[in-house]
Amino acid sequence: MMKDEQHKDKQQMAKLAPKRDWQAYYNAVVNRPPRKTLLTALDTFEKPGIAIDLGCGEGRDTVEILRQNWAVLAIDQNPDAIASLRARSIDNIDRLATQIVNFEKLELPKPVDLINASFSLPFCSTEAFPNLWFKILNSLGTGGRFCGHLFGERDSWRDRKLINCFTRSQVESLLKPYAIEMLEEEEHPGKTPLGEDRYWHIFHIVARKK
């Protein structure tokens, strides 16, 4: 591709990129309960271990993981997310570590018992996603679990070319190294927490590394 075309292509991608006002999102979801995927995964463990919360946002899942006496590394690209999380009243704060880094540059410690990624992986760049998905697998010990969400092929944000969306069979392929414990598909028109109209196509996932 010529340089000019590459430049135009980047401009076009930037226009389509999901520019989210994450602080407005954090304000809108504050005090919402932890995700069902996370609660389901936590219930399967006999004792607390080490978890990573990827794209933790203002921490609705992180605080629950801490409340259940786990150690957590909460990661987000957005400094406001980590500031909002740390401003919360949190049980077991001495078990919380935080890191501000984007998925594209992320290195994960290993082995960990649980990696939670609620509504965050779709926002990883499409080029970086395969490597990130491998890093998640690589970071989990055998028997460790992934829980979180991926967007489906009919999700309305699919048109924004930087969002990762998958067919069910692609999701099943991604989960081949795992025993699937939950794979629920949800699809309907709705609204975002900020009140924007949207068509949701979501996979809710809990999976154990084989």
Binding interface with ligand SAM (CB under 6 A): 22, 25, 29, 55-57, 60-61, 76-78, 81, 102-103, 118-120, 123-124
Q: How far is the CB of 196 from ligand SAM (least distance, A)?
A: 12
- Cα–Cα dist 20/147, whole Å: 23
- The structure tokens 């609204």 sit at 191
Q: Which is nearer to ligand SAM, 25 or 70 (CB)?
A: 25
Q: Which is nearer to ligand SAM, 76 or 113 (CB)?
A: 76
Q: Which is nearer to ligand SAM, 68 or 77 (CB)?
A: 77
Tokens of 208: 């154990």
Q: How far is the CB of 165 from ligand SAM (least distance, A)?
A: 15
Q: Which is nearer to ligand SAM, 172 or 186 (CB)?
A: 186
Q: Within 13 Å, how many C-alpha atoms sit on residue 103's CB side?
A: 24
Q: How far is the CB of 117 from ligand SAM (least distance, A)?
A: 7
- Cα–Cα dist 74/53, whole Å: 5
CA 135 vs CA 4, 129, 164, 165: distances in Å? 34, 10, 17, 19
Q: How far is the CB of 66 from ligand SAM (least distance, A)?
A: 14
- The structure tokens 């809710």 sit at 204
Q: Which is nearer to ligand SAM, 172 or 192 (CB)?
A: 192
Which residue number is nearest to ligand SAM in terms of Cβ?
57
Answer for the pair 205, 37: CB distance below 8 angstroms, yes or no. yes
